[in-house]
C-alpha cells in the first residue's frame, strides 16, 4: 500500500505507540485521584501539556486538552461567544474546514450575523474584504492557517494584527499546520489556536486548544474540574501522552522532514504534469505546506480516479475526509474560482515523513496508465 492521504490522518510514530502502551496496560489510574497511582498519571499529563506548548511557542497553562481538533474548534468559537453576549458578529472565510463552517451555519440559525471572506485564485484571503468586515460588533474572527485541501498557507499575520488592533479576538485553525510549519504564539497575537494529534503522527481522539492567558472562555462540556474547568471528563491519559510525544518529535524533526517531503511533493507535481497533459496543480504558485498537492484532471471524475488508485493500492482523497461521499465539488476550490468541471476532477495527495521516493516513483509510473484506462472507458 502507498499511503498518500496524510491530511486525513497520519501513521502514529513508533515512539508514540511505545509511550502509550504502558498506560493502556498498566497506567490506568484516574488522574483526578489523590493517591500516588493517580498522581503519577496526572504528572504524565502535565509533561505532555508542556510538550504541546513548546511546539507552538505557548505556556503549558495555556493548553487545554480536548477529544480532537473538531472539539477544540467548537470550544474556541462557542466558548468565546458565550462570554460575549453583547456582540453578535462572527467573521471567518469561505475556505475553512467544515468544523468551522458547520458551527458558523448554526450561529446564523441562532441569530448571529456571520460573514465569510473570499479568497483569490491562489486561495489567499482577501485582506481588504477582511478589514472591511471587522466591526465593533465582531465577537470573534477565525482563520485557517494551512488549508486541508490545497495546502495553501494563509498570510494570516496581518489579518490577525488588524483584528487585534481593534480588540477583536482571533481563533486560528492550525490542525493541518501544527508540526509542519513553525508556529510561535509568543509573536502572533491570537487568542485561541486549535490542534489535533493525529495530523502530526499522534493518536486519534485527542486534540488541544491554546487559550491565551486572560482570555475568557465558557466550557462546552460540564462535569468535573478537569482542564481548569474548561473541559469536564476523565482525561484520556494514554492519548494525551501520545500527543505530547508526537509534538516533541514534530518540533525536533520538522526542518529536516520539511525539506525532504517538500522535494518529494514537488517531484510528484512535476512528474504528473509532465506525464499527464490535462493535469493542473491547484494553487501551485502560492506558498503551501510541504506535504500537500491538489491536482485537477480535466475531463475525469475524482471519484473514479480514487477508485482506480485504491484498486492499485494507492490511498489519496478528493479533499477533506469529513466530506467523503459528497457529490458536490469542493467548497474550497469553488471559493478560489476553479471551474466546476476541474473542481469535480480534483484529487489531493498528501505525503508524510514516512513517504519514500520509491513510492512517489511508483505513483508516477502507475497514474498515467490508470488515467488512460479511465479515459478509454469514458468514451
φ, ψ of residue 92 in degrees (nearest 5): -150, -165
Measured between alpha carbons, how far is 111 from 311 in angstroms, rounded to an integer? 47
Measured between alpha carbons, how far is 188 from 218 in angstroms, rounded to an integer? 23
DSSP 87-135: --EEEEETT--HHHHHHHHHHHHTT-EEEEE-B-TT--B-HHHHHHH--
Give whole-number Cα distances, 281 to 159, 288, 294, 318, 345, in Å.
26, 12, 6, 13, 11
Measured between alpha carbons, how far is 354 from 5 in angstroms, rounded to an integer? 12
Measured in residues, the chain has a length of 379
User: Which of the residues 262, 273, 315, 322 is marked catalytic?
Assistant: 322
Reference 375, options 304, 273, 317; nearest CA is 304
| 262 among known catalytic residues | no
Measured between alpha carbons, how far is 176 from 146 in angstroms, rounded to an integer? 6
Reference 95, options 173, 171, 191, 4; nearest CA is 173
Half-sphere exposure of 5 (CA within 13 A, CB side): 20
Contact 53, 250 (CB under 8 A): no
Return the exposure string of 53-89: e unless at least 16 CB atoms fall within 10 Å of the residue's CB, then b: bebbebeeebbbbbbbbbbbbbbbbbbbbeeeeebbb
DSSP 171-228: EEE-TTTBTTB---TTTS--SEEEEEGGGTTS-SS-EEEEE-TT-----SS-SSSGGG
Q: Which residues are catalytic?
A: 322
Amino acid at each position: 500500500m502507498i499511503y498518500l492521504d496524510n491530511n486525513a490522518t497520519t501513521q502514529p510514530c513508533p515512539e508514540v505507540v511505545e509511550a502509550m502502551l504502558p498506560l493502556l496496560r498498566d497506567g490506568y489510574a484516574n488522574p483526578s485521584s489523590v493517591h500516588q497511582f493517580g498522581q503519577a498519571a496526572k504528572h504524565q499529563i502535565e509533561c505532555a501539556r508542556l510538550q504541546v506548548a513548546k511546539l507552538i511557542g505557548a505556556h503549558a497553562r495555556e493548553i487545554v486538552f480536548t477529544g480532537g481538533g473538531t472539539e477544540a474548534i467548537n470550544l474556541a468559537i462557542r466558548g468565546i461567544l458565550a462570554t460575549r453576549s453583547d456582540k453578535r458578529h462572527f467573521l471567518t472565510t469561505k475556505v475553512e474546514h467544515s468544523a468551522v463552517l458547520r458551527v458558523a451555519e448554526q450561529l446564523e440559525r441562532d441569530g448571529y450575523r456571520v460573514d465569510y471572506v473570499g479568497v483569490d485564485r491562489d486561495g489567499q484571503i482577501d485582506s481588504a474584504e477582511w478589514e472591511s468586515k471587522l466591526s465593533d460588533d465582531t465577537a470573534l474572527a477565525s482563520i485557517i492557517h494551512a488549508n486541508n485541501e490545497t495546502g495553501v498557507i494563509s498570510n494570516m499575520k496581518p489579518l490577525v494584527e488588524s483584528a487585534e488592533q481593534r480588540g477583536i479576538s482571533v481563533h486560528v485553525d492550525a490542525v493541518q499546520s501544527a508540526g509542519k510549519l513553525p508556529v510561535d504564539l509568543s509573536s502572533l497575537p491570537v487568542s485561541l489556536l486549535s490542534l489535533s494529534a493525529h495530523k502530526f503522527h499522534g493518536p486519534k481522539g485527542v486534540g488541544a486548544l491554546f487559550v491565551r492567558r486572560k482570555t475568557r472562555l465558557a466550557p462546552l462540556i460540564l462535569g468535573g474540574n478537569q482542564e481548569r474547568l474548561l473541559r469536564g471528563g476523565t482525561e484520556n491519559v494514554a492519548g494525551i501522552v501520545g500527543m505530547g510525544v508526537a509534538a516533541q518529535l514534530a518540533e525536533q524533526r520538522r526542518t529536516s522532514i520539511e525539506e525532504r517531503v517538500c522535494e518529494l511533493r514537488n517531484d510528484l507535481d512535476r512528474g504528473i504534469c509532465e506525464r499527464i497533459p490535462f493535469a493542473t496543480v491547484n494553487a501551485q504558485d502560492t506558498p503551501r505546506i510541504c506535504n500537500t498537492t491538489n491536482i485537477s484532471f480535466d475531463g475525469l471524475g475524482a471519484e473514479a480516479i480514487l477508485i482506480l488508485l485504491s484498486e492499485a493500492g494507492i490511498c489519496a482523497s478528493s479533499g477533506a475526509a469529513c466530506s467523503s461521499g459528497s457529490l458536490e465539488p469542493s467548497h474550497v476550490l469553488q471559493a478560489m474560482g476553479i471551474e466546476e468541471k476541474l473542481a469535480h476532477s480534483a484529487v489531493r495527495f498528501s505525503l508524510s515523513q514516512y513517504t519514500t521516493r520509491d513510492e512517489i516513483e511508483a505513483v508516477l509510473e502507475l497514474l498515467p496508465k490508470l488515467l488512460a484506462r479511465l479515459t478509454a472507458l469514458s468514451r
